Structure 1
């Protein structure tokens, strides 16, 4: 270990469901951190107890390891909330079992917290995507920071759970993850957190994600369209109105719906969502781009994705060490 011998306890929550190999790699990623004061909480919805998957691994660098078994799995949001309830740390971090962390991820986030103002409650990092050979294909650098409520209402991007560390006191104030949301529950939670604390972005891509590993939930477009989208609008329309951002909020949510539709091949829905976004905010060029892509169909959208990926591929993409 190269980090400090002592420091504020960080509770790391790893939900898992029937992926023992992925869980082993995730636990090893936590164990390899340069920060020592870590409590690992595995929230296990698996058919076979996940604890057996870690048998024989050298995880001695982790200060505490706890397993929470559920006899009634209720999804990722509920699993993370069970982990939050069991967490003892000053800070709470999340790691999806199919993601990995850079060795210094926790250390750099704790340092960012300690260097920040007391009202900072969320520190999140950049991320990089790798292909099956471990080559970096895309790097995403975070830019949204500070008091970010208005930015989020207008559609500013953030990042997935694996990039995020949250001060425990901010969770107490904002509340836990809303389990009514089958998808987009992360963004909904960030919006509530943004009302009680500031956000800090660590630009380095300290989270490693594999291309294609995160489509399971987003592929269920019906749940986005019929549950998460209307629920998000209903829940936060009053907040948007308080900022005079009703139309900007409606447009941003319609754009999110359009992207989900494009990603899953629902081009008719993408057209409807794009038009909805244009009606709410006709000067936003992105909405018009989504409309054009929806009209072009699968070939046009896939070509646009390939071009975007090539333009965003870093020069160091021949690095095969994730």
Structure 2
């Protein structure tokens, strides 16, 4: 049986870490290595890790634990991948969990079809609802090439992926300049290198907890997230455009999708000039005018409202200062 290294990073969540480690220990697959990196926590995390290392050893899971100065999730994942000894690598965050047979089922599928990587569905849990990610198993990543993932017609959470270590090394490290969307960037690059298979089942649980990187509150945090998303989407083209499977038309569709949202966020804040600059930038990058016509209509409406001293209201929160997600 192939050794699978589970790369996990943690930061200031000692109350959640045991649950995540327990779900790794509960995996039916062996041999298994847990590569856990503490990204500079200044709390009880080191003590909790010491206890969990002993628990891993008692259940046949190799504990490869280390601490490093704080550098962000991409930095912590890279540190873990650098220490991983397995033939395959899987990822798990400290606030998420797996079903006990997740890795076993994925390894069986990889052996059956000879693919380089395998994904599955996850249950995405928010404060008031639960949904499958992706919604249908038909939307899971399959084959090679990033087009469907870039346009959002296919998806897989980073914590659902098991990949050959040699392929992961070929993809290279996570981009440490990205505070969020580092997983989007890495998965696009992975899809340029790997043949994907999938297990069409929900085998994991992804929770939006208080410390989730994607959570934001207020306009300034939303704007910061938009800027990081733009950086990731534009940057991945430069990294991948020379790859045989790169599809610029798919990337331009993604530009239209994302800039449509960026423009609306600026309009809700009454920043008409900034919205116009984003619209022009999207067109200059090749976004189809038809795909951002909704944003253009809102720009026109926002202009008329501005003549009356009014601004567009956010459809859910009303005032942009109240926005959160």
- Shorter-chain-normalised TM-score: which range? 0.7 to 0.9
Which of 38, 43, 50 is equivalent to 2:37?
A: 43
Taking the TM superposition and a 5 Å limit, the aligned residue runs for 1:91-170 are 91-117=88-114, 120-130=115-125, 137-140=130-133, 141=137, 142-170=139-167
Instruction: Give, in angstroms, the shift of residue 123 of structure 1.
Output: 1.1
Q: Which residue of 2 aligns with 1:320?
A: none
Q: Which moved more, 1:51-60 or 1:61-70?
A: 51-60
Which of 6, 11, 19 is equivalent to 1:12?
A: 6
**SS of alignment partner, residue 26 of structure 1:** helix
**SS of alignment partner, residue 103 of structure 1:** coil
Distance in 2 (alpha carbons) for counterparts of 1:221 and 1:261 = 12
Q: Which residue of 2 aligns with 1:306?
A: none
Instruction: Give, in angstroms, the shift of residue 213 of structure 1.
Output: 5.2
Distance in 2 (alpha carbons) for counterparts of 1:21 and 1:266 = 40
Which deviations, in whole Å up to 9, do the C-alpha atoms of 1:176-201 show, x marking residues without a partner?
A: 21212222111111121122211122
Distance in 2 (alpha carbons) for counterparts of 1:153 and 1:112 = 24
Aligned residues: 288
Which of 57, 62, 65 is equivalent to 1:64?
A: 62
Residue 175 (1) aligns with residue 172 (2): yes
Distance in 1 (alpha carbons) for counterparts of 2:5 and 2:90 = 6
Which consecutive residues of structure 1, in runs of 5 or more, have no partner in the other structure?
1-6, 303-322
Q: Does the C-alpha gap of structure 1 residues 300 and 35 become closer, same or farther in structure 2, counting only changes over 3 Å? A: same
Distance in 1 (alpha carbons) for counterparts of 2:88 and 2:125 = 28
Instruction: Give, in angstroms, the shift of residue 28 of structure 1.
Output: 0.8
Which deviations, in whole Å up to 9, do the C-alpha atoms of 1:232-251 show, x marking residues without a partner?
A: 41441584587784454133
Q: Which residue of 1 aligns with 2:255?
A: 253
Q: Which residue of 2 aligns with 1:229?
A: 230
Which of 84, 87, 99 is equivalent to 1:87?
A: 84
**SS of alignment partner, residue 93 of structure 2:** coil
Q: Does the C-alpha gap of structure 1 residues 150 and 240 become closer, same or farther in structure 2, counting only changes over 3 Å? A: farther
The two structures have a TM-score, normalised by structure 1, of 0.75
Distance in 2 (alpha carbons) for counterparts of 1:266 and 1:164 = 37
* Counterpart contact for 2:259–2:282, Cα < 8 Å: no
**SS of alignment partner, residue 314 of structure 2:** helix
Instruction: Give, in angstroms, the shift of residue 79 of structure 1.
Output: 0.2
Distance in 2 (alpha carbons) for counterparts of 1:232 and 1:130 = 25
Which of 20, 25, 42 is equivalent to 2:19?
A: 25
* Counterpart contact for 2:181–2:232, Cα < 8 Å: no
* Counterpart contact for 2:24–2:98, Cα < 8 Å: yes
The two structures have a TM-score, normalised by structure 2, of 0.74
Distance in 2 (alpha carbons) for counterparts of 1:160 and 1:19 = 21
**SS of alignment partner, residue 192 of structure 1:** helix
* Counterpart contact for 1:12–1:93, Cα < 8 Å: yes
User: Aligned-residue CA RMSD in angstroms?
Assistant: 3.5
Residue 298 (1) aligns with residue 314 (2): yes
**SS of alignment partner, residue 233 of structure 1:** helix
